[in-house]
Every structure is written in structure tokens, then in C-alpha cells.
């Protein structure tokens, strides 16, 4: 009996505590003052810059070399050359280490090195135990200064590219993304160019060697280290390692300016094996350095990046049940990003989904967002800001990216004050300035017999059918 009385007493006390608790939504907390972290910065020599963040929690050193060169520098018809060249720095071995011996040495050290090319910049990354750093660094600099470009490995790497091209459109969402970019930018615009079997097969080993000589060797480079090391010791090592590196500033390129390539309207690609359809719609976005490059994040959160707090997810998925996945945003880019909205829906609801998405987008350009929506978006940006600095690697990489893209030095310090200052009028102003709901490119990938009539019934003009690309 005493046992039951004790249990009852505990239950009553627990219940009183539970019911005495306040509604979490009514709780108030003081704002957390957070100063953005910045990595150390030192000049190794002209054209070689060193970013660093010491961290002694683990006996590990991570690093990367970033070269101011990428696929922007590829000749037309040689798409894939920059990526292939960067991968060959490791895959092709060095003059003192065959490809197999290079891999064996890294395996023995427990270290990893990877190299790859991007649009504007190319990278070599490494990870190693600090006790094995010296040997790992020797391998990396050997790759950089003395690449052997093994012919057999070259053919293997090309086959990998060809296989990726063959499988590129296995997923309809990938097909939609690639073709939408092409419609917005145009086939020859740098952000929309893609590799083909013709471009890969046309790349020779001499092309790789020439690209290395012209666009990697002696080009301006940023070196970044995080982990278990002493800055002064590492700076001395880098001065020795890059003593003969020229650090040449890459030549300015005469690149085209972004302009909407396709006529606004509805485009369709027939894929008879699909039971669902992929919808992508939008137009050009903003430049990285646009005056609203911070404030636009609140517009994006409310429209389509805030998960179930966003209008697209809330209305298209939760309230109408038209899609499992949907999102939208104004992206920033080298010249201009893309205003990109995505939805995957069943074939029978394509027309309804497009109309709803268009209505939601239009409303963002005509009416102020609610105080609650704006408050949730601002709280998310403020509370998530600290996670931009949740590791030494994140601190360093972010600082480098901002510098390379030309952001002002006080970008991070002014980020939160700019977010907190945004009101509903500002969000509406961004919508009116950037988004044009009546002049969007709408691309649908799906089964023609189930989708095409719905597209014609939207009343958005002629539906242009595009051929299903082979690659």
C-alpha cells in the first residue's frame, strides 16, 4: 500500500510541475552576442596567401590549396578539361611515384589527398595525422610540381567521365535541373555548359599538360591549414615550398553577361516512363555582390527555403498534398544566379501545382509578408548564424570564399544587423525588383499523354516541346 501511495505522490508532483511549465512560445531569452570568427592571415610571397586556424583538440591537420583557375578557362569544345587536369595531378602519379606507389604511400600514412576543378577555382585538399604531415606534404608538393600524367590513368579518368555522362539523366530531377539552366542561361554560357562524350573524347593528354602549364602551375594560389600545427613553423615551411612558385595573377577573361536565353513560356520534355512530373520555373537571379545579398535570404526563407515554414512547402505540400518535395529561392551567382523553383508532383496534378506555385510567387511581389512569417525567418537567420562558424574548417573556407568573390571585409560583421533591420516592406521591395511572375521559364519533364493537355489549359501561351537530350 505504501508503494502505491509513493507512486501516486510522485505522479501528482510530476503533473503539477508539468502543468506549471510555461508555453515555450511565450518564453523570452536575451539575445546572444556573437562575434564572427576570422582565421589568421599571412602573406607567404607575392601571389601566395596563407589562411590558418590552429586547433589542438585532435592530432590532425587539414588543408587545401585553391587556384584561381577553373572551367572558365577551358577552350570551347574541351568541356571537362579543367576537372580532368586537376584529377590527373593525383591519379597520374608523379615523376618519382607511380600512381600505385602514390596511393600506397598515402594508405600507409593514413592520409587522403583529393584534387578537383570548379567553375572559377580549382582545389587540392588533404587530411592527415599531424605526425604524418611532413610526408603527406611532400607527396602533395610532388604532385603539384612534378606531375607525371600517366597515360593509362588518363584513359581511366576519361572513362569515368563518360560513364557519368551516360548516367547523367537517370534521375528526372537532374534532367530538369540541367535543361532549366540551359534555358535560362543559354547552352554556351559558362554556368550552363556541360561535358559531352564528344568533348571528353576530344581531350588529349597534351591538352591536359598544356592546361596544367597555363592555368595551374605558377598561378596565384591560396593555402589554408586548420588543426594541430604552429603558425610560424607552417609559414616557414610554405615559404620554402613555394620559393619558386611565381604566383601569377590569371588573365582577365572576356565573359558574356547573363541574359535570359529562352523566351518566357512553357517548355516540355516527354519521358514516357515517368509516373510523376518534374516542374522547374523561374528566370535569372542576382549577382553575389547585389545590394540585397543578405536581405534576400529572408525572402527565400519565406518563399521556399524555410522547409515547412515556407509558403511553397506549406501550401503545395501540406495544405494541398500536391508534392512531397518543393522549394524556391533567388540564388546569387558569379554574374547572375537563378530564380529557381522546383516541385515534383504526380502527373495528374501538374497544372494545379504550376498554377499554385505561380500564385504564391506572384503574391510575394504584390503583398507584404505577415509579421509572423518575417519574425520566424529573422529568428532562423539569427539563430543559425553561429553555425557558419561551427568548425575551424568552416571559419577558414568561408573567409576564403568571401575574399575570392569580392565581398566587403565587414560582410560578416554587418550580416546580423542587416537581417534584424529588414521589415515587410523590404521583403516586398526585393520581390518587386527581382521576381517577374509573368515572364518565367517553366520547364516540365513528364509523361506527355498525362501532362501535355494540362499545360495547354494553363493559358500561358504555346507549349514548346523539347527533345529528350541523349546526354
What confidence tens digit (pLDDT) does each residue in 399-433 have?
999 999 999 999 999 999 999 999 999 999 999 99
C-alpha cell at 132: 604524418
Give the up-direction half-sphere exposure of residue 468: CA atoms within 13 A in the CB hemisphere: 13
Longest dimension (CA), the chain: 91
What confidence tens digit (pLDDT) does each residue in 329-346 have?
999 999 999 999 999 999
pLDDT at residue 348 above 90? yes
Instruction: Over range 358-376, report the average pLDDT.
Output: 98
Residue with the bigger pLDDT between 28 and 332: it is 332
Cβ contact 101:228 at 8 Å: no
The predicted structure's pLDDT at residue 146: 97
The predicted structure's pLDDT at residue 170: 86
The confidence band for 307, taking pLDDT boundaries of 50, 70 and 90, is very high
H-run or E-run covering 50? strand 48-54
Report percent pLDDT > 90 for the chain.
Answer: 87
Which range (12-26, 238-252, 268-282) has the least confidence? 12-26
The confidence band for 25, taking pLDDT boundaries of 50, 70 and 90, is low
pLDDT at residue 356 above 90? yes
CB-based burial of residue 315 (10 Å sphere; 0-12 exposed, 13-18 middle, 19+ buried)? middle
Instruction: Over range 23-39, report the average pLDDT.
Output: 71
H-run or E-run covering 241? helix 231-241
Instruction: Over range 132-138, report the average pLDDT.
Output: 98
Domains recognised in the chain with CATH numbers: 40-241 (3.30.830.10), 265-466 (3.30.830.10)
The predicted structure's pLDDT at residue 35: 80
Residue with the bigger pLDDT between 15 and 63: it is 63
The confidence band for 23, taking pLDDT boundaries of 50, 70 and 90, is low
The predicted structure's pLDDT at residue 30: 64
pLDDT at residue 29 above 90? no
For the whole model, what pTM was predicted? 0.90
The predicted structure's pLDDT at residue 84: 98
Beta strands 441-446 and 332-333: pairing type? unpaired
Report percent pLDDT > 70 for the chain.
Answer: 93
Cβ contact 84:161 at 8 Å: yes
What confidence tens digit (pLDDT) does each residue in 449-468 have?
999 999 999 999 999 999 98
pLDDT at residue 6 above 60? no
Q: For residue 203, what are the CA distances in angstroms to 135, 155, 193, 224?
A: 33, 10, 16, 31
The predicted structure's pLDDT at residue 39: 95
Instruction: Over range 221-236, report the average pLDDT.
Output: 97
Task: Round the average pLDDT of the chain to a whole number and report it.
Answer: 93
Residue 227: closest CA among 127, 124, 348, 92: 127
Beta strands 221-227 and 276-284: pairing type? unpaired
What confidence tens digit (pLDDT) does each residue in 67-119 have?
999 999 999 999 999 999 999 999 999 999 999 999 999 999 999 999 999 99
| Strand order from edge to edge, sheet including 338-346 | 323-330, 338-346, 276-284, 441-446, 265-270, 463-466
The predicted structure's pLDDT at residue 8: 44
The predicted structure's pLDDT at residue 334: 95
pLDDT at residue 438 above 50? yes
The predicted structure's pLDDT at residue 324: 86
CB-based burial of residue 182 (10 Å sphere; 0-12 exposed, 13-18 middle, 19+ buried)? buried
Q: For residue 128, what are the CA distances in angstroms to 36, 137, 389?
A: 27, 9, 22
The confidence band for 7, taking pLDDT boundaries of 50, 70 and 90, is very low
The predicted structure's pLDDT at residue 174: 86
Beta strands 122-129 and 48-54: pairing type? unpaired
Amino acid at each position: 500500500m505504501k508503494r502505491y501511495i509513493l507512486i501516486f505522490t510522485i505522479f501528482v508532483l510530476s503533473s503539477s510541475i508539468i502543468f506549471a511549465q510555461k508555453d515555450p512560445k511565450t518564453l523570452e531569452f536575451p539575445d546572444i552576442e556573437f562575434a564572427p570568427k576570422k582565421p589568421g592571415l599571412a602573406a607567404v610571397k607575392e601571389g601566395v596567401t596563407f589562411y590558418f586556424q590552429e586547433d589542438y583538440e585532435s592530432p590532425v591537420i587539414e588543408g587545401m590549396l585553391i587556384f584561381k583557375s577553373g572551367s572558365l578557362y577551358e577552350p570551347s569544345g574541351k568541356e571537362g578539361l579543367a576537372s580532368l587536369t586537376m584529377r590527373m595531378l593525383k591519379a597520374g602519379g608523379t615523376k618519382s611515384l607511380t600512381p600505385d606507389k602514390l596511393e600506397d604511400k598515402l594508405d600507409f600514412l593514413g592520409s587522403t589527398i583529393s584534387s578537383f576543378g570548379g567553375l572559377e577555382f580549382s582545389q587540392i585538399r588533404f587530411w592527415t595525422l599531424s605526425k604524418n604531415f611532413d610526408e603527406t606534404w611532400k607527396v602533395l608538393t610532388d604532385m603539384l610540381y612534378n606531375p607525371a600524367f600517366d597515360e593509362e590513368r588518363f584513359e581511366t579518368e576519361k572513362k569515368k567521365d563518360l560513364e557519368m555522362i551516360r548516367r547523367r539523366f537517370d534521375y528526372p530531377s537532374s534532367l530538369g535541373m540541367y535543361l532549366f539552366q540551359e534555358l535560362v542561361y543559354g547552352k554556351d554560357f559558362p554556368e550552363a555548359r556541360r561535358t559531352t562524350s564528344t568533348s571528353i573524347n576530344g581531350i588529349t593528354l597534351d591538352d591536359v599538360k598544356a592546361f596544367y602549364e597555363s592555368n595551374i602551375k605558377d598561378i596565384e594560389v591560396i593555402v589554408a591549414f586548420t588543426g594541430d600545427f604552429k603558425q610560424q613553423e607552417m609559414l616557414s615551411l610554405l615559404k620554402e615550398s613555394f620559393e619558386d612558385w611565381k604566383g601569377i595573377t590569371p588573365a582577365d577573361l572576356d565573359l558574356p553577361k547573363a541574359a535570359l536565353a529562352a523566351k518566357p513560356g512553357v517548355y516540355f520534355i516527354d519521358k514516357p516512363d515517368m509516373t510523376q512530373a518534374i516542374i522547374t520555373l523561374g528566370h535569372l537571379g542576382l549577382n553575389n555582390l547585389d545590394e540585397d545579398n543578405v536581405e534576400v535570404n529572408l525572402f527565400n526563407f519565406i518563399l521556399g527555403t524555410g522547409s515547412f515554414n515556407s509558403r511553397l512547402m506549406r501550401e503545395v505540400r501540406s495544405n494541398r498534398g500536391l508534392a512531397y518535395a518543393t522549394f524556391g529561392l533567388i540564388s546569387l551567382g558569379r554574374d547572375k544566379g537563378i530564380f529557381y523553383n522546383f516541385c515534383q508532383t504526380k502527373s495528374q496534378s501538374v497544372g494545379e501545382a504550376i498554377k499554385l506555385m505561380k500564385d504564391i510567387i506572384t503574391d510575394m511581389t504584390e503583398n507584404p509578408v505577415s509579421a509572423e512569417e518575417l519574425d520566424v525567418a529573422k529568428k532562423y537567420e539569427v539563430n543559425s548564424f553561429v553555425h557558419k562558424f561551427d568548425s575551424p574548417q568552416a571559419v577558414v573556407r568561408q573567409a576564403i570564399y568571401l575574399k575570392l568573390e569580392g565581398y566587403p571585409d565587414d560582410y560578416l560583421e554587418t550580416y546580423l544587423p542587416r537581417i534584424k533591420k529588414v521589415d515587410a516592406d523590404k521583403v516586398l521591395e526585393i520581390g518587386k525588383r527581382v521576381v517577374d511572375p509573368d515572364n518565367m521559364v517553366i520547364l516540365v519533364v513528364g509523361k506527355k499523354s498525362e501532362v501535355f493537355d494540362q499545360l495547354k489549359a494553363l493559358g500561358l501561351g504555346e507549349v514548346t516541346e523539347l527533345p529528350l537530350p541523349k546526354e
